[in-house]
């Protein structure tokens, strides 16, 4: 399958951090990469990407990731040369598991478009930090009209409403099949299959795929939340190949960060030094 990755980047210190290069290197093994940054990158910084990208550019810092993805898509002369175009960004540490595992599963799904996770906050949508579009989507004018309409919004919340949720809305209207790699439905099917008594909701005795740790069913049934924050351990055990940086940097849902780091060390395969150095730099720059 011929893939193109459009990678959106921003760094407050105007550098390309080693964790980003590690991620892009992995993506380049599965397709070609266009890198679009809203940082003022020197030629030395951009040169770091030369082994892994077909184009790497900087643009003015406005419009958030959607305008970076828009700019990257504008650089593609013939999108129909690709079977799959993926938008992604630097908001995750990845890959913590081999990316090919996810792509093999999702290629077999037959979905016209897919993402790693979905979210029901504000409205149901696939989260845009990693989202893939295949030929049935790339051949539709409505998809490209959406990208032509992307413009500067007054806030990040407005971007989410207009574009992250808006993109899912456009695709749903097209009536094409979608999928997510981390599926709550699949987890619930496995969970409910293990219940002998439905009058109580104990922790699930997990199937082998999720290792020996129990799955918290109550969280699965708790309603609206951001899966990348609330279900980080379930995602690690399910071999989701990335983890959100804001979970470790900002901890928006008051998780036990040391427990997250311990689980990554126990189950995943990621250079811990990249993560530690980046978090240390982010925290020091806030002082």
- pLDDT > 80? residue 81: yes
| Mean pLDDT across 85-104 | 98
DSSP letters, 180-249, are: ESS-HHHHHHHHHHH-S-TTS-PPB---GGGTTSPB-HHHHTS-S--HHHHTHHHHHHTT-S-EEHHHHH
Mean pLDDT of the chain: 87
Per-residue pLDDT, 209: 36
Q: How many CA atoms lie within 13 A of 215 on its CB side?
A: 26
The pLDDT of residue 80 is 87
Looking at residue 230, its pLDDT comes to 81
* Collapsed DSSP state (helix, strand, coil) of residue 23: helix
pLDDT in tens, 115-161: 999 987 788 899 999 999 999 999 999 999 999 999 999 999 999 99
pLDDT of residue 216: 53
Which CB contacts under 8 angstroms, 24+ apart, belong to 46-53? 46/16, 48/16, 48/21, 49/16, 49/21, 49/24, 51/25, 52/21, 52/24, 52/25, 52/27, 52/28, 53/7, 53/24, 53/28
The residues facing 118 across adjacent strands are 126
DSSP codes joined into one string, 146-186: HHHH----SSHHHHIIIIIHHHHHHHHHTT--EEESS-HHH
Domains and CATH numbers, the chain: 3-180 (3.90.550.10), 184-285 (no CATH)
Summarised one tens digit per residue, pLDDT across range 200-255 is: 333 333 333 344 445 455 555 544 567 888 889 989 999 999 999 999 999 887 88
């Amino acid at each position: 399958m011929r893939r193109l990755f459009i990678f959106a980047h921003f760094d407050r210190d105007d550098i390309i951090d080693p964790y980003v290069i590690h991620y892009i290197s992995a993506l380049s093994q599965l397709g070609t990469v266009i890198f679009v940054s809203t940082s003022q990158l020197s030629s030395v910084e951009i040169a770091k990407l030369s082994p892994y990208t077909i184009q790497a550019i900087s643009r003015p810092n406005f419009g958030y990731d959607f305008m970076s993805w828009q700019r990257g898509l504008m650089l593609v002369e013939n999108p129909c040369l690709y079977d799959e175009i993926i938008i992604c960004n630097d908001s995750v540490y990845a890959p913590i598991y081999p990316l090919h595992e996810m792509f093999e599963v999702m290629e077999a799904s037959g979905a016209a478009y897919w993402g790693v996770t979905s979210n029901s906050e504000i409205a149901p949508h696939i989260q845009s930090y990693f989202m893939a579009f295949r030929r049935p989507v790339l051949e539709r004018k409505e998809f490209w009209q959406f990208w032509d309409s992307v413009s500067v919004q007054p806030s990040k919340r407005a971007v989410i409403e207009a574009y992250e949720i808006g993109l899912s809305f456009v695709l749903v209207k097209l009536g094409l099949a979608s999928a997510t790699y981390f599926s709550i439905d699949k987890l619930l099917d496995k969970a409910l299959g293990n219940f002998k008594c439905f009058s109580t909701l104990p922790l699930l005795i997990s199937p082998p795929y999720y290792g020996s740790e129990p799955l918290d069913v109550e969280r699965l049934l708790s309603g609206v939340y951001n899966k990348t924050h609330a279900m980080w351990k379930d995602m690690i055990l399910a071999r989701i190949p990335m983890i959100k940086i804001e979970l470790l940097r900002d901890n928006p849902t008051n998780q036990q960060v040391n427990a997250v780091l311990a689980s990554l060390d126990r189950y995943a395969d990621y250079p811990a030094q990249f993560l530690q150095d980046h978090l240390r730099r982010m925290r020091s720059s806030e002082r």
